[in-house]
Amino acid sequence: MFATSGPCYANSKHNFYVLTLSILSYSKWENVNTPTLCVIDNPSITSTFQSYIQQMSYNYRVQTVNAKDFARSHCQAVYFSTTSPQQQQSLIQNYPYRSLLSLSINNSDCEIGSIFCLYNQNNYTTFKVNLDALSHSKVHIDPRVLLLAKNAE
């Protein structure tokens, strides 16, 4: 168990796509060989993820899902790019499966909503970890990812 409360931080020179795929590579789901990453309401980001997945030889599926259809989807991870933190929180809470890893590029405070909140700062792609959201998910995140998290300020 981690004694830290609030968000943790980490830095990387990589972009949002590479960082997201790297985080996914350190995540484990029960009985899932090929995780599905669902991108909410953004087909262009889905297309870019597909290119990176192919280039980097990752074993992931990626698909665009409309927010209104999310509760009926079968995703192991969800990527938010245009939804507010409040919308993210609502979608995550109403998702019928608890084994969901959530990532966002539109949630810099990372107090509610997604587990991993990605943003750019000083030419770095930076992420915060919402430990409260992580504790409610049944996804196993390798502790090495969490050890990378540090205060970037």
Rounded mean pLDDT of 122-147?
A: 87
Give just the sign of the alpha carbon dihedral 95, 98, 103, 106: positive
Q: How confident is the model at residue 150 (pLDDT cuts 50, 70, 90)?
A: low
Q: Where are the domains of the chain?
A: 8-148
| 5, pLDDT greater than 70 | no
CATH placement of domain 8-148: 3.40.640.10
Rounded mean pLDDT of 102-128?
A: 89
Rounded mean pLDDT of 83-104?
A: 95
| 142, pLDDT greater than 60 | yes
Bridge partners (DSSP) listed for residue 39? 64, 79
pLDDT at position 149 is 67
* pTM, full prediction: 0.88
Of 97, 138, 121, 119, the residue nearest 129 (C-alpha): 119
